[in-house]
Amino acid sequence: MYTFEKLIVWNESRELVKMVYALLEKYPSSEKYALIDQMKRASVSIVSNIAEGSARITQKDKGHFYSIAYSSSMELISQIFISIDLGYTNSEKGEIVIQKIGQVSRLLNGLRNSTLKTI
């Protein structure tokens, strides 16, 4: 088992990726290389940067990757709001994903802060 697999935030981020991919199945094909691609990359960036950060030696490096993951979560929230504004998803479905992003971002913020406090 890798270190990141033990992190609750990593496991919750994996769930978030599945939720985002399921949400995007209903988006118009005209968004395939635009919003769909961007949202997929942002969600995968979160989980990937958590894993990469956990493998770094210094606390500063770890914190850097956790910060990138946090930033990607904020990017994804913004994209969900845009999706609702454009009518690609309804606010109810969007809010469910936003709540999951909120959970992940709070966990990430705690991980990032605890990592950077040890510097």
Domains and their CATH numbers in the chain? 3-22+32-117 (1.20.1440.60)
- Tally Cβ neighbours within 10 Å of residue 18: 11
pLDDT at position 117, please?
87
pLDDT at position 75, please?
98
Where does residue 95 rank: exposed (0-12), middle (13-18), buried (19+ CB within 10 A)? Answer: middle
What pTM was estimated for this model as a whole? 0.95
C-alpha closest to that of 2 among 64, 51, 53, 73: 51
pLDDT at position 1, please?
82
Residues of the chain with pLDDT under 50: none
pLDDT at position 110, please?
95
pLDDT at position 107, please?
98
d(CA 33, CA 69): 22
Q: What is the dihedral of CA 8, 10, 68, 84, to 10 degrees?
A: -100
